[in-house]
Structure 1
Amino acid sequence: MKNQVSKNSVVKIKHLQNSSWKRRKDARPPEIIRASKKILEEKGIKGLSMMKISKAAGVSEATLYKYFNDKNDLLNQVYIDWAEPFIEKMEADIRDISDLHSSLLFIAIRYLEGMKSAPKLHIILFRELRWNNYIGSPIHEMNKRYSSLIKKVFDRGIDNKEILSSTNFNIFRDQYLGGLEHIGIRKVLTSKNINIGKVSSELVNNLLTGISK
């Protein structure tokens, strides 16, 4: 009986040890991403190397490559870690907005404020990540969510007869997002003085002038 109890205790201890090890292992990718984001915010991409990331995260370089293919893959995940909750909140909040103008204005303001909240991350996005194996990347998939959100707003605007049904969505989307990116890169990411609400309103008003019914 005592031997059986002893065996059960050993099995239980091993199970707890395995569970603890698995929890530590599962926690590693988020810890690595947080360490990378901290380095990016403090020193920018020039200060980022796999060696520095491994030291900051408290793991070996070999461990980094168990979870991420290379530095570019890790940078993609750092951006997604920031962007996913950001766009999820945007998707949830916009449900309470009914008209096209207010919806577009809401997206524009949130988009530019997002860039302002994480400038170094967005500088890396536009300079590095967008042009390196972009198609099919996590960032490409995230941008498709932006496009899908705008498409829903656009289609609702047509259904509500707020804009002409002949309006080409692809051109409209490219003008809208392209305008926001241009404003963001030239003004927000260079830390120039900018009234985000004002420029967002001007952009939306200009876009809707030619297509409103």
Structure 2
Amino acid sequence: MTKKRLKHIDRQKQIIEIAKELVSEGGVHNLTIRKLTKKAGITEAALYRHFNSRDDVVINLIKEVNEKLIETIKSSINSDGNSIDDLEKILNLHYSSIELRKGLSFIVILQASEFESQEIRQAGNNLVRSYLKIIEDLIYLGIKKGEIDRTVEPESASMMFFGIVQVSVTRWIFDPEHHPLNEKSKSLWNLFRTSLEFMDEDLELHRVPFQSNTNREK
């Protein structure tokens, strides 16, 4: 890789990091070319050498957020542990990150749909789909291991989990003082956990080896 190409990549990374700061401070709509260039200490012409437009910056930001989010979630999952415990760990991780104003992922997801750009909307959709797939697979694993009620539909449960996080983020963004996430996390988690667990009278049923009617390899 040439030095010129390396410098281009480094500058792109720097601009994306600044974009993250701006979004964390005031949402995606706080991300403007003027603010980017001012914070980066470069001219607009210099910025356009690395990105074609503001939309291009947003798309690359979403891709970066996607990679970091998936990486963080996967590192939280213990393949030898309990799937329900892993889900709780992921939820608490989200809440702690958001309250430290690092909950960039869900702010971006929330606001990506507001853009007219089809490319931005698609990038946001890809982020959501990647996230849901990991949660869905974790729930399916829990069913297979006999930790989660086998009547639970993994796709629906993953959407429910995502919804809990997203609505919490939305309320917190508008009024963080009156909707502290750490106070709500336990009650929300208990509600979700109850929907996953099976009753004691169903214990014998869950001792029978699980057989799925769907092809998870698709």
TM-score, length of structure 2 as denominator length: 0.70
Whether 1:72 aligns to 2:55 is: yes
Cα deviation code 1:152-207 (max 9, x no counterpart)? 21111221223343432222222221122112221366313342652353233232
Cα deviation code 1:35-58 (max 9, x no counterpart)? 333344456556542133123323
- 2:6 aligns to what? 23
SS at match of 1:102: helix
Cα deviation code 1:84-138 (max 9, x no counterpart)? 234313202312552232122112112222322336846752553134335531x
Distance 2:141 2:67 in 1: 24
Higher helix share: 1
Q: 1:193 aligns with which of 156, 180, 185?
A: 180
Whether 1:49 aligns to 2:32 is: yes
5 Å matches for 1:172-191? 172-187=157-172, 190-191=175-176
Q: Any stretches of 5+ residues in structure 2 without a counterpart?
A: 203-218
- 2:85 aligns to what? 102
* Root mean square deviation of aligned Cα: 3.2
SS at match of 1:128: helix
Whether 1:136 aligns to 2:122 is: yes
Distance 2:110 2:133 in 1: 24
In percent, how many aligned pairs have the same letter? 19
Distance 1:123 1:151 in 2: 18
Whether 1:148 aligns to 2:133 is: yes
Give the residue type in structure 1 aligned to 2:186.
K
Distance 2:174 2:66 in 1: 17
- Contact 1:76/1:129 (8 A) holds in 2: no
TM-score, length of structure 1 as denominator length: 0.72
Which structure has the larger Rg? 1
Distance 1:149 1:24 in 2: 34
Q: 1:114 aligns with which of 97, 111, 127?
A: 97
